[in-house]
Chains A and B, each alone.
Chain A
């Protein structure tokens, strides 16, 4: 019996740790190993909710057809997308690379397609353009302007043997897909000269412009010694009272006139930044700032799928799933108790342990809890007792054959083990297959289900067999002769 005491101790420790991890206000694991006041190990422990519970949007990006990519450029693209998304202020966005040059972006809380797309997709080519001798009013905000920078970028993207586009054939994409794209305007018969691109900026941030705060602008800081910064300073310094255009993805944002004092500060070398106006909304300013800060993507990416999930459904779903879970577990606990009596108590304890350990692992790993994931967990609860049922039915048979209680219990566990192992194993394999099926973007709901159900089955091998056995032995030891005299308590 000493063996069981050791196991009981181990199980109690596991239960205590799992219960601590499951507590809603868990502070996380923080270890200060060398005592310098900084945590070397700092793991937050919390429930990660799936997008279907939080609300938000999900975008699938793919490297544009015909572009070549490798691991390095895809990773770079992923990091750029991630930085842009984080720059938008979206908390807990998920940006993941997938097979076949794909990137999945999950944006909790973002509902508008335009915001999501702008942040992720647009190449964000910002140019400061030579507008010498252009008079105010000659061009309007939003005009499509062709620059040397755009021509260079386009030609760099040409694949081998492809003819470069004629200067008169450049267009700007329109926001409305039904409207013909604008033809780009030329300066005479040549593109306008790009002085500096967004690559010369060190930082950018959205700021409120004007007093009411309805209009936004973007503040930028130059990068000392950055690409094109010298030409930029030179242009500003020598073009007092002349306009300079700011062009984003070929569209004219504005072309403010350079004030004399700005020109002199550029000459004196004290100019370190400026402001881009263009009567933006807050979202637009935020997107632009993020794009300036984090640069263009190394590979053009196409958006091939887009989902949004309204937030209200998720909120209701969480509450309902919890309620359904509690009712389901309570029914199973009650059933086991009524049907199997004393062994049922052991099974119930094991089931509670199962729930706590599962939940702790969800937080620790962490497993993203979507609705299908929660469902997989609930179903694993329903089938978790299968092992116990197999054992107890065997046990009853052995008792009916007239075996002693102790031997019946041992026999029940030993003989049922192969069945339990086989049935769990086959479902675990099916879960693995489902997990791979779920790696297809459109089937990603399946993945959560497969993970929680599979995890449940693995944990079940431990709780249904080992934990139940230890619990049952402890109960038998504690109860002394009572059980022996009343086989009814064993459900016979």
Chain B
């Protein structure tokens, strides 16, 4: 029988190996950018522009052009050109495509003209012959500092609301369980484990590839948290059900049995969600890719932490291995009353 609960130290170590680099990245990011993950203009305000040129440039040329417009603190990133294989009437791919992030630009038309003058024509998926009214492949998004602050406030409210809902959900789910606090605490610790992993990965990706946390990142995080807690509750539910059935067995064995009984469901459910997400990451629209990738990481972490964090923690707690909280645990062993 696979031993979920017995090798718990190994699982703690694996979690730590993923979380610690993430924490380091968050510290570095906080020193460099003032926030643990790179924040997008959704929160900070500013202008984000994606633009394709007919010609190719190196990054310095782009920077020079922006500096000439009086823009200083800029983030320039090269993107893959828009794939043209499935647009009718398109012959040539763009020479280069860029993502530019600056402080808020008020006159976008002016700025576009400036880019056109200094770097040449914008690339468009239609050729002039096909469509005289062709439109350049440019996407801009400007957020004023005020709107950014509002989104930040809305984000904090949403996070708080989700926290309250989850807490309520946990209290409700374990309302008639002995040691309800212990189960609740383990579920919440495992949830923070998922948040740390997701944030840490995002922070690393931010440092390495400039991934920015936008409103959708927060959405992914909150969704992950919801799914994660559900998963834990299903496993814990089963432990609670099994305790009175197998009174003579040690707690570890009961826990192990419960995990084995629910692991099919956990894996099957997560696998299906993961299939769909991988399909979107591989084949889906590009603008949504970062969002799905974060969702995917969070979901995998949530599945992992149900089995390899929440449950081992429960056993550690039971066996008095946890610092600070275990004065009475040994005494309570095998005392589990009939479940409701």
* A interface, CB within 8 angstroms of B: 52, 55, 60, 111-114, 176-177, 304-313, 315-321, 323-325, 327-329, 331-332, 335-336, 339, 371-372, 374-375, 378-379, 381-383, 385-386, 389-390, 393, 397, 419, 422-423, 426-427, 429-430, 433-434, 436-443, 445-446, 449-450, 453
Contact = CB atoms under 8 A, between A and B. Distances in A.
A382 B264 contact: no
Given A319-B86, A441-B150, A389 B269 contact: yes
B124 to A, nearest CB: 7
Given A310-B50, A375-B280, A445-B215, A331 B107 contact: no
Contact of A177 (B82, B107, B222, B283): B107
Given A316-B82, A317-B287, A324-B280, A305 B140 contact: no
A320 B237 contact: no
Contacts of A426: 165-166, 169, 226, 229-230
Interface stretch (B5-13, B15-23, B156-164, B183-191): B156-164
A305 B147 contact: yes
A312 B87 contact: yes
Most A CB atoms within 10 A — which of B146, B229, B230, B295?
B230
A338 B223 CA distance: 29
Interface in B80-123: 82-83, 86-87, 106-110
A330 to B, nearest CB: 9
A332 B272 contact: yes
B279 interface: yes
Contact of A437 (B137, B139, B157, B271): B157
Contacts of B265: 389-390, 393
Contacts of B161: 433, 436
Interface in B271-290: 271-277, 279-280, 282-288
Contacts of A453: 223
Contacts of B165: 426, 429-430, 433
B219 interface: yes
Q: Interface majority SS on A: helix, strand, loop or mixed?
A: helix
B301 interface: no
Contact of B277 (A113, A318, A335, A382): A382
Given A382-B276, A442-B147, A176 B233 contact: no
Most A CB atoms within 10 A — which of B139, B155, B173, B261?
B139
Q: Interface majority SS on B: helix, strand, loop or mixed?
A: helix
Nearest to B160: A433
Given A379-B295, A390-B269, 8 more contacts: A316-B87, A328-B275, A371-B288, A372-B288, A393-B268, A426-B229, A436-B154, A437-B157
Contact of A112 (B109, B142, B279, B284): B109
A397 B141 CA distance: 54
B184 to A, nearest CB: 14
A133 to B, nearest CB: 39
A434 B295 CA distance: 15
Contacts of A52: 287
B66 to A, nearest CB: 16
A434 B82 contact: no
A114 B230 contact: no
29 contacts: A111-B136, A176-B107, A176-B110, A307-B142, A312-B125, A313-B50, A313-B82, A313-B137, A313-B286, A313-B287, A328-B275, A331-B276, A332-B276, A336-B272, A375-B288, A375-B292, A389-B265, A389-B268, A389-B269, A390-B265, A419-B237, A430-B162, A430-B165, A434-B223, A437-B155, A439-B154, A441-B147, A442-B43, A442-B148
A390 B275 CA distance: 18
Contacts of B226: 426-427, 430
B42 interface: yes
B219 A379 contact: no
A443 B215 contact: yes
A312 B219 contact: no
B137 A310 contact: yes
A472 to B, nearest CB: 17
Contacts of A313: 50, 82, 137, 139, 285-287
Interface of B: 42-43, 50, 82-83, 86-87, 106-110, 124-125, 135-144, 146-148, 150-151, 154-155, 157-158, 161-162, 165-166, 169, 173, 214-216, 218-219, 222-223, 225-227, 229-230, 233-234, 237, 261, 264-265, 268-269, 271-277, 279-280, 282-288, 291-292, 295
B222 A434 contact: yes
Contacts of B264: 389, 393
Contacts, number: 237
Contact of A328 (B108, B138, B140, B280): B280
B108 A331 contact: no
Contacts of A371: 285, 287-288
B147 A437 contact: no
A335 B286 contact: no
Contact of A60 (B110, B147, B158, B295): B147
A321 B291 CA distance: 14
Contacts of B140: 306-308
Contacts of B291: 372, 375
Nearest to A436: B158
Contacts of A320: 283-286
Nearest to A416: B265
Most A CB atoms within 10 A — which of B87, B271, B274?
B271
A379 B226 CA distance: 14
Contacts of B141: 307-308
Given A52-B287, A310-B137, A313-B139, A449 B150 contact: no
B280 A378 contact: yes
A445 B135 contact: no
Given A113-B108, A324-B283, A423-B230, A304 B146 contact: yes
A433 B272 contact: no
Contact of B42 (A375, A386, A439, A443): A443
Contact of B233 (A422, A434, A445): A422
Contacts of A321: 280, 284-285, 288
The 4 closest A-B pairs by CB, nearest first: A317-B285, A382-B276, A324-B284, A443-B215
Nearest to B153: A440
B86 A316 contact: yes
A93 B275 CA distance: 36
Contact of B143 (A305, A434, A437): A305
A305 B285 contact: no
B139 A308 contact: yes
Contact of A378 (B43, B229, B276): B276
A312 B287 CA distance: 12
A442 to B, nearest CB: 4
Nearest to B70: A178
B275 A331 contact: yes
A446 B151 CA distance: 11
Nearest to B112: A113
Contacts of B225: 430
Most A CB atoms within 10 A — which of B125, B146, B173, B273?
B273
Nearest to B156: A437
Nearest to B40: A442
Contacts of B155: 437, 443
B261 to A, nearest CB: 7
Given A310-B135, A434-B222, A442-B151, A386 B142 contact: no
